[in-house]
Amino acid sequence: MSKDLSNYRKSYEKQELLESNCPENPMEFFQTWFINADNSNMVDESNAMNIASIGIDGFPKNRVVLLKKYTWEGFIFYTNYNSEKGKAIAANNNVCLSFFWPALEQQIIIKGKAELLAENLSDGYFESRPDGSKLGAWASNQSSVISSREELDNNLKDFENKFKSKEIERPKYWGGYLVKPISIEFWQGRPNRMHDRIRYTLEEDFSWKIERLAP
């Protein structure tokens, strides 16, 4: 089975990205772009981001997770620490995050180091989740092989009974990561594939070097 995709083309013409519009700190720039995407009625799940890690098998792997908070320090997401991505991060905490908003012809690529979030912060976020999501964190041994969907549903029922009329506490194997960026690239689509690419790189004195990259 084959399909010729060579004629799939789109001209990117909505915006431009110039150095004169770039603030000194990329987190400020990220906030501007993110708020714009979040307020756009053309973007679904503006906080959906791809995270790439190096697996313990030596292969890189990408998957989509949800950004739950960003601060001046970096980007926060939550997962099962025993999952494939959790084990990968434990072995090598160099990761890459990326956001792609096709409707805005924009993407952001972030290289950084993932660190475990403080337990009290993971507790606080877990408490804010709906009960169904809390129980799901208990019921799913994320990334492990299971025999059937029925096994998963039965696990959920077991934990529904266990926590019936009780507070659903956070499993110790579930929590957050803070990704501290060392480089952030902002990409704006432009006509004729002459895209704008501006990269911020963290310097030893914690200032940010701003460079334009060829498309």
Domains with residue ranges and CATH for the chain: 19-117+177-212 (2.30.110.10)
> Taking residues 26-41, what's their average pLDDT?
97
- Distance, CA of 190 to CA of 167 (rounded, Å): 52
Residue 129 appears among annotated catalytic residues: no
Q: Looking up tokens 């799901």, which residue turns up?
A: 136
Q: What is the pLDDT of residue 16?
A: 93
The tokens describing 125, both together, are 């976020």
Flag whether the pTM goes above 0.85: yes
Other Cβ atoms within 10 Å of 25 Cβ, number: 14
Q: What is the pLDDT of residue 5?
A: 76
**SS3 of residue 57 by DSSP:** coil
- Distance, CA of 105 to CA of 15 (rounded, Å): 8
- Distance, CA of 15 to CA of 2 (rounded, Å): 35
- Distance, CA of 118 to CA of 21 (rounded, Å): 35
DSSP β-bridge partners for residue 94? 113
The tokens describing 33, both together, are 């772009």
Q: What are 46-102's pLDDT values in tens digits?
A: 999 999 999 999 999 999 999 999 999 999 999 999 999 999 999 999 999 999 999
Residues 106 and 196: beta-carbon distance below 8 Å: no
Q: What are 142-196's pLDDT values in tens digits?
A: 888 889 999 999 999 999 999 998 999 999 999 999 999 999 999 999 999 999 9
175: part of which helix (H) or strand (E)?
strand 174-188
Q: What is the pLDDT of residue 109?
A: 98
Q: Which has the closest alpha carbon to 61: 85, 83, 81, 80? A: 85
Q: Choosing from 149, 170, 193, 197, which is the catalytic residue?
A: 193
